[in-house]
Amino acid sequence: MYISIKSRLIFLLIVFTLLPFVLLRIIAYPRVQTDLQEVLIRNLDGIGHKQTELVTNWMYERIKNVSVIAENPFITKCAQIAKEDVDYPDIVHYLEVVKNKYGYTGILVSNDKGLVTAATAEEDAGSDISHMDYFKRAVQGHTFVSGIIPSEIPLTNEFGEKELGMPTMFVSTPLRNKYGIVVGIVAIRMDVKALNDLLLSLKLGKTEETYLVSKDGYMLTESRFAQDLKDMGLIKRRCALELKLVSRETGELTNGVKQCVTGKNGFDAKGYKDYRGKTVLGVWRWLPEFKWGLITEIDKDEGYGPAYNLNYIVSSVLIILAFPIVIIAYFIGKKTSTPIVQLTEVTEKIASGDLTQRIDIQRKDEIGILAKSFNTMAISLEEKTRALSDSEKRYRELFNSVKEGVYQSEPTEDGVFISINRAGAEILGYKSPKEVIGMKVRDIYADPDDRRKVIEKLTKEGVWKSFTSLCKRKNGELFYMERTSNLVTDETGSPIHINGIFRDISERKKLEGELLESELQHRQLLKSLKEGIYQCEPSKDGVFTWINQAGAEMIGYTSPEEAIGTRVKDIYVNPDDRKELLATLEKKGVLRDFISYCKKKNGERFLSESTCNLVRDDNGKPIKILGCIQGHNGKIIS
């Protein structure tokens, strides 16, 4: 059945015009809903992160404060002080001032046996705290933060009453004398209410709350819903140390608490039942330095409220816009069908490779502009395609004309050759690049472990210049290869491929070996001569920089190493001989048969005859003196 392009276009325009709205409802809305959920979770996580910083910084400030107190020389006396001492009232007054300034519940000082010698609370003075963890850790030389624990003495509660077992915590630190020996401890007692105020300082909504939880799953701070919990009979006085955060349905720790106390950080965007039986969204962080968990939660209905409202808005907009969109799509499709057919035909021809095609539409509207732009694009595409083809041809000619091997490989230890030029293939013993492409790069090494070293070097530094390795050709013949490679990465730093250039340096290696052997023979020859051969600095106080065995023995040394570094002028009986020698060399450049009295290391004198020449650099600057010296008839002058 024939369906005209006009009818089909109208139908498609209607379908595709409505499709975005349908997709908006079916796909985009859930995506937006997901985005809103992610934003909410990020906000929750941001609050949790900020609260974590606040709690951590607050705790570190307390640690710093107790350390400052302990470093006060005035407080060091407290370890051995008694109530009868003259300084006792002043010390207690100082502790009271610090306590009131920073809002602590109390401060105490004990000796190294655990006996409290000074305290702001009368109940603490004279008590034995040797069994307390905060004393044991501090007296061992550590600053210690206790968990939130019930108070062992009555403290004033939020109702102004004295209550035993109030939630409290300690920060303690060693008290050292001027010799650094621990003579006691200083401990500050803190009210958990300060932590409650910190956690309530940031709010996301009506039902959002942040609280601390212990390793055992007990709430350590107060809930925003404390009154509701009392009405439900879940707590008697307060949440801290009293409320265990379990699901009312399962009797187990809530999902957020269960994950958090295992030391994990995370979130739950689907929702779980909290300790009130409400479905909440939550994020959690574990604070290992204090062994606390910090949990931020908000009721799911409140958190996802904007997403639920969006559902109604999108559905209403879709219904309202559907009818006029259908009518508009019909008229637009009818008017634009003909030029679209022409554009389609020309596009198909260009896509098939005929870049000479042009479209002939003479209209003074957007379609006309589109046709003109299309023709301009086709001309530009044809020119650029031709230029690209020419450029690629020149590159390939250059790539295959160089004598060195040029290659590209995958950036892994088992990576293969992606491309290689003809010279590179021939160096490896292959007739054409096609034989090499796809072959593992490590197979060309005599020692495959060299490939691992290359990958490690490139991963660390990005480039490795002029490194040499022993490789093998296709027929197994070994040769030395010198290579420079660099690692190419993408914008994220991930490796893409390795580019490199290499050459066969086997002949150079052979010549280097022969040169080394020749140099060794030369040195052996110099050492075997009976005449002294030496090299020294060209200055007045210049030293021997090299001398053979005969020369060293001639001036009284057992080995050349012992003579190297000796000032040359020290071997002359008359120091002016050195000056005369240098003056002659400076003027003539060479001095022959120079007779002078010399002396050995032990002071023995002998008559010497030497010949030497001055060596200069390209700028005429003296750089060294080369010379030959021999004893004159073996005569020694006493």
Q: Is the predicted pLDDT of residue 194 greater than 70, yes or no?
A: yes
Rounded Cα distance, 295 and 169, in Å: 20
Residue 333 pLDDT grade (very low, low, confident, very high; cuts 50, 70, 90)? low
**CB 254 within 8 Å of CB 274:** yes
Q: Model confidence over 463-521: pLDDT tens digits?
A: 988 888 899 999 999 999 988 999 999 989 899 999 998 988 888 888 877 777 766 66
Does some domain include residue 519? no
How would residue 635 be classed by pLDDT, with cut points 50, 70 and 90?
very low
Q: Model confidence at 38, in pLDDT bands (50, 70, 90)?
A: confident
Amino acid letter for position 422: R
3-class DSSP assignment, residue 243: coil
Rounded Cα distance between 537 and 467, Å, is 36
**Strands of the sheet with 209-213, listed across from one edge:** 209-213, 292-299, 279-287, 266-273
**Domain co-membership, 487 together with 600:** no
Q: Let me know the angle formed at the C-alpha of 186 by 84 and 219, rounded to the nearest 5 degrees.
A: 130
Q: What is the pLDDT of residues 361-394, one digit of tens each?
A: 777 777 777 777 877 887 787 777 777 777 666 6
| Residue 204 pLDDT greater than 50, yes or no | yes
Rounded Cα distance between 41 and 284, Å, is 11
| Inside any domain, residue 382 | yes
For residue 386, give Cα distances in angstroms to 91, 354, 366, 427: 92, 12, 30, 34
Residues 323 and 377 in one domain: no
Task: Quote the tokens at residue 111.
Answer: 């000796």
C-alpha Rg value of the chain to the nearest Å? 45
Q: What is the DSSP letter of 493?
A: S
**pLDDT band with cut points at 50, 70 and 90 for residue 102:** confident
- pLDDT the model gives residue 82: 85
Question: Is 621 inside any structural domain?
Answer: yes
In a domain, 381, yes or no: yes
* pLDDT for residue 572: 92
Mean pLDDT of 190-196: 85
Are 286 and 55 spatial neighbours (Cβ–Cβ below 8 Å)? no
Q: What is the pLDDT of residues 551-599, one digit of tens each?
A: 999 999 999 999 999 999 999 999 899 999 999 999 999 999 899 999 9
Strand partners, 267: 283
* Geometric angle at alpha carbon 141, from 191 and 212, rounded to 5°: 30
CA distance 576 to 572: 8
Name the pLDDT band for 400 (thresholds 50, 70, 90): low
Claim to verify: residue 286 and residue 324 sit in the same structural domain: no
Find all residues with CB under 8 Å of 72, minimum gap 6, and list them: none
Contact assessment for residue 325 and residue 17, using Cβ atoms and an 8 Å cutoff: yes
**Are 223 and 275 part of one and the same domain?**
yes
Residues 331, 422, single domain; the answer is no
pLDDT number for residue 285: 93
Question: What value, to the nearest 5°, has the Cα angle with vertex 118 and ends 116 and 120?
Answer: 110
- In which band, very low, low, confident or very high, does the pLDDT at 398 lie, cut at 50, 70 and 90? low
Task: Identify whether residues 544 and 612 lie together within a single domain.
Answer: yes
Q: Are residues 294 and 312 in the same domain?
A: no
Give yes or no: residues 89 and 186 share one domain: yes
pLDDT at 396: 65
Looking at the structure, tell me whether residues 34 and 143 fall in a common domain.
no
The pLDDT score that the predictor gives to residue 397 is 63
Looking at the chain, the whole-number percentage of residues with pLDDT higher than 70 is 90
The helix (run of H) or strand (run of E) holding residue 520 is helix 506-528
Whether residue 636 is predicted with pLDDT greater than 50 in this model: the reply is: no
Long-range contacts of 357-364 (CB under 8 A, 24+ apart): 363/339
Long-range contacts of 423-427 (CB under 8 A, 24+ apart): 424/502, 427/473, 427/481, 427/502, 427/503, 427/504
pLDDT value of position 632: 67
Residue 517 is assigned to a structural domain of this protein: no
Inter-CA distances, 255 with 61, 248, 272, 277, 282, Å = 32, 12, 7, 12, 9
Domain stop point among 195, 215, 238: 195
**What tokens does 518 get?**
């020749």
Q: Per the structure, how many domains does the chain have? A: 6
pLDDT value for 373: 81
* Cβ–Cβ < 8 Å for 182, 191: no
Q: Tell me the mean pLDDT in the region 38-61.
A: 86
Residue 322 lies in a domain: yes
Q: How far apart are CA 501 and CA 406, in angstroms?
A: 4
pLDDT over 80 (residue 50): yes
- Summarize the confidence of residues 83-97 as an average pLDDT: 88
Q: Is residue 395 one of the residues assigned to a domain?
A: no
Q: Chain-wide mean pLDDT for the chain?
A: 85
> Which one is predicted more confidently, 57 or 392?
57
Q: What is the pLDDT of residue 284?
A: 93
- pLDDT of residue 173 exceeding 90: yes
Domain boundary among 162, 195, 228: 195
pLDDT of 73: 83
Percent of the chain scored above 90 by pLDDT? 38
DSSP string, 131-151: TSHHHHHHHTT--EE---EE-
d(CA 352, CA 346): 10
Q: Residue 180's domain spans which residues?
A: 72-195
Q: pLDDT grade, residue 134 (50/70/90)?
A: very high
Do 96 and 49 fall within a single domain?
no
Q: What angle do CA 184, 187, 191 make, to 5 degrees?
A: 170
Q: Which of 158-167, 274-283, 520-529, 572-581 has the weakest average pLDDT? A: 520-529
pTM of whole model > 0.85? no
Averaged pLDDT for residues 525-541: 83
Residue 392: inside a domain, yes or no? no
The token pair that represents 142 in the structure block: 């550590």
The CATH number assigned to the domain holding 120 equals 3.30.450.20
